[in-house]
Amino acid sequence: MSAPVDLIRADLRDFAGYRSARSDRLVGDVWLNANEAAWPNAADDGGVRRYPDPQPETLRTRLAALYDCRPEQLLAGRGSDEAIDLLVRAFCTPGQGAIVITSPTFGMYAVSAKLHGARVVDVPLVDDGRAFRCDIDAVADAALASNATLVFLCSPGNPTGDIVPLDAVRTLAERLDGRAIVVVDEAYQEFASAPSAITLQAERSNIVVLRTLSKAHALAGVRLGVAIGDADLIAVLRRCQAPYPLPAPCVTLVERALADEPLATTRARVTASVRERERLAEALREAPGMRCVYPSSSNFVLARFDDAQSAFDALLAAGVVVRDVRAQPGLGDALRITVGRPDENDRVIAALVGAVA
């Protein structure tokens, strides 16, 4: 099995990155090494005149416990978006590199690649009219043919809600050993019944998993996500990261949230969302002009309509804002509806079905 760091851009293999004033673990009680303000701002109630720790040890330890990995396997950043960007920077040579995606999927993979000058190779998901699935053989063939160094799998898929089975992820990682990193974006993993791809990393070191606190943990506003992978690979990503990626108030809030909210409470919130997801999907299947409501392992449902614009307008007239995904490949008649609280879902049902189920 090849080392994933062998796939790092050749010009970055000796790249040390920027060493900030907080990079060195120095001890002292008078801190004059970072050109910070000597007196605090009037709004400061938590020491924010100081630069924050780039990767706070307490935070990484708690996140590692949450995701069942070692702290050195984990990089915390500004949502999963930053991890995607760092992976593209580290593994794709500008103007030469390539990534593989499976549309319709999360748009930031292609955005990050295009901003970096990397090609985007698309292997569309297969839609049989009832569900979406990923053609793993076609993905592997495309990655090898294009010399792509990154393959992005969104599982559960956004906006499709589908799962990529772990056996398929394992097979893909085996075929691409020494050729590409398989990135499994698990932003919605807590809402799925399938196990995490983190469980494969002990046997396949070219798998990176992305997780976020934005969904199940109800912390979207703090913008904190993680990349989990081989420790040497994570060390490279850290060297490519901005000096101070984690604002101190956000870190404090996350540490408090992870310490104060029992895991059982998070699970109860997820269970309620899953229950409402199934109720909403069942009711929407009775809506006039409904073509298809796809099965979902996420906190949303994807639906196709005879007239998606009329459905979108009806929801807006009822004060309900949903995601219009018609611009995405193959989804010209579809809307993505996030699962809300029971009363919010009742409004969706009333607007589209005409009565609350």
User: Cα–Cα distance between 83 and 209 in angstroms, integer?
Assistant: 10
Domain end among 227, 260, 293: 260
Q: 259 or 341: which carries more pLDDT confidence?
A: 341
Kindly provide the b/e burial profile for residues 124-151, where b requires at least 16 CB atoms within 10 angstroms of the residue's own CB.
bbebeeebbbbebeebbebbeebebbbb
What does the DSSP 8-state code read for residue 210? Answer: E
357 lies in a domain? Answer: no
Q: What average pLDDT score do residues 309-329 get? A: 97
What pLDDT, on the 0 to 100 scale, is given for residue 355?
58
**Domain with 152 in it: what CATH number?**
3.40.640.10
**Does residue 174 share a domain with residue 152?**
yes
203 lies in a domain? Answer: yes
User: Cα–Cα distance between 240 and 140 in angstroms, integer?
Assistant: 27
User: Cα–Cα distance between 115 and 337 in angstroms, integer?
Assistant: 29
140 lies in a domain? Answer: yes
Strands 290-293 and 225-228: unpaired
20 lies in a domain? Answer: yes
User: 46 pLDDT exceeds 90?
Assistant: no
User: Cα–Cα distance between 337 and 277 in angstroms, integer?
Assistant: 10
User: 2 pLDDT exceeds 90?
Assistant: no
Taking only the tens place, the pLDDT of each residue in 138-179 is 999 999 999 999 999 999 999 999 999 999 999 999 999 999
Range of 78's domain?
4-260
User: Cα–Cα distance between 187 and 182 in angstroms, integer?
Assistant: 15
User: Cα–Cα distance between 336 and 331 in angstroms, integer?
Assistant: 10
**Does residue 228 share a domain with residue 290?**
no
**Does residue 251 share a domain with residue 120?**
yes
**Does residue 233 share a domain with residue 102?**
yes
Q: Record the pTM.
A: 0.95
Conformational region of residue 77, where left means phi above 0, alpha means psi within -120 to 50, and beta covers everything else: beta
User: 7 pLDDT exceeds 80?
Assistant: yes
Helices H / strands E in the chain, number of each:
10, 13
**Does residue 63 share a domain with residue 157?**
yes
User: Cα–Cα distance between 119 and 102 in angstroms, integer?
Assistant: 14
Q: What average pLDDT score do residues 78-95 get? A: 96
Say how many domains are in the chain. Answer: 2
What does the DSSP 8-state code read for residue 195? Answer: P
User: Cα–Cα distance between 106 and 154 in angstroms, integer?
Assistant: 7
What pLDDT, on the 0 to 100 scale, is given for residue 357?
42
**Does residue 274 share a domain with residue 239?**
no
**Does residue 316 share a domain with residue 222?**
no
What does the DSSP 8-state code read for residue 278? Answer: H
How far does Cα 271 stand from its chain's mean position?
A: 20
**Does residue 333 share a domain with residue 229?**
no
Domain end among 214, 234, 260: 260
**Does residue 255 share a domain with residue 275?**
no
**Domain with 327 in it: what CATH number?**
3.90.1150.10
Taking only the tens place, the pLDDT of each residue in 112-149 is 999 999 999 999 999 999 999 999 999 999 999 999 99
199 lies in a domain? Answer: yes
Task: Write the secondary structure of 300-336 as one string of H (helix), E (strand) and C (coil).
Answer: EEEEEECCHHHHHHHHHHCCCCCEECCCCCCCCCEEE
Domain end among 237, 260, 283: 260
**Does residue 329 share a domain with residue 223?**
no
